[in-house]
Structure 1
Amino acid sequence: MSTNPLSKLEFTGRTAKRAQYEAFEYTLTPAGVRVRNGSHAKPEEHEYVVTVTNGLPIACECPADDHYEGACKHRVAVAIRRPIIQAVTQQQLTTDGGRPLGSHERTDHSGPQANSENAASTEECDCPETGDSFPCWNCVRTGRRTLEE
């Protein structure tokens, strides 16, 4: 995800402005990012799911995304908010069976902080309902234990 998603989208200046100033609210879903427009009097009638693939908002359920050239304001709004792109990408990696980002990226195990991280990841799972051989979801999600242990 080294390239800014905006550089891969085509959109108008008007769309870019609306993507920045409208009061959007974001919720991660299994399908992507639900974008609710809080600027409307009835925001619940103005929410659409934006599909993100490889860090790029590629589609939106809104009518404008189907009827006009270029990306709609919902796709642009997701693209300009890097933490949202990172969160949906991490969710997709985890859902697809990958490890959460950061749980396996560090290879330098030197220094006191690395040692405390290693100690935390090898501690026994404190969730008794899963038994000793199978970690709970929270331990896997946080990188404390892996399914291979």
Structure 2
Amino acid sequence: MTEELMACPGPHHVHRNAYCTHMAAVENVTDDRTLDAFPSEVEDDAEPENCDCDGLGGFPCWPCVHTGRKELPN
């Protein structure tokens, strides 16, 4: 999160004083003013630190799916 104060009129922030999806969207807008809805935590094809694919019997773990390293099977 940025060092600047952020506020949102949405109920999640107003009633819980919590960081909300609106705040996350504002922080993830790119320089060309498009929204990167799922910013990658890993820039290359490196395995995420919290990868648990080995323990899932061939099914990809969420960190690998979230970063775009692997896809969910159909």
Structure 1-normalised TM-score? 0.23
Query: Which has more helix, going by share of residues?
Result: 1
Give the TM-score normalised by structure 2: 0.37
